[in-house]
Amino acid sequence: LEPCAMCAAAISFARLRRLYYGAADPKGGAVESGPRFFSLPTCHHAPEVYGGIAECEAAALLKSFFAARR
């Protein structure tokens, strides 16, 4: 799942070189959705971002997980 703002900040502080994630998160994501954390001038380190890896499968997995919880 696309990292939220707090996770993106932790990724930046840890100076990770690359970020890989499956499904985008239009509501809570902060990398390619929402505030685009790594594009902000206050972000001192931005990793290479590879999103949408097996996106359909990742989204289906998340939906089935949360459907089982409700």
- Please tell me whether residue 39 adopts helix, strand or coil conformation: helix
Q: Which token pair is 54?
A: 């097996």
pLDDT at 56: 94
Mean pLDDT by 10 residues, the chain (70 residues): 96 98 94 95 96 94 91
Half-sphere exposure of 31 (CA within 13 A, CB side): 27
The phi and psi torsions of 33 (rounded to 5 degrees) equal -115, 165
Locate all alpha helices (DSSP H) within 1-70, ordered by sequence: 5-13, 55-69
User: Could you give the domains of the chain?
Assistant: 5-69 (3.40.140.10)
* Nearest CA-CA partner of 62 in 32, 35, 29: 29
What integer pLDDT is reported at residue 70 of this predicted model? 82
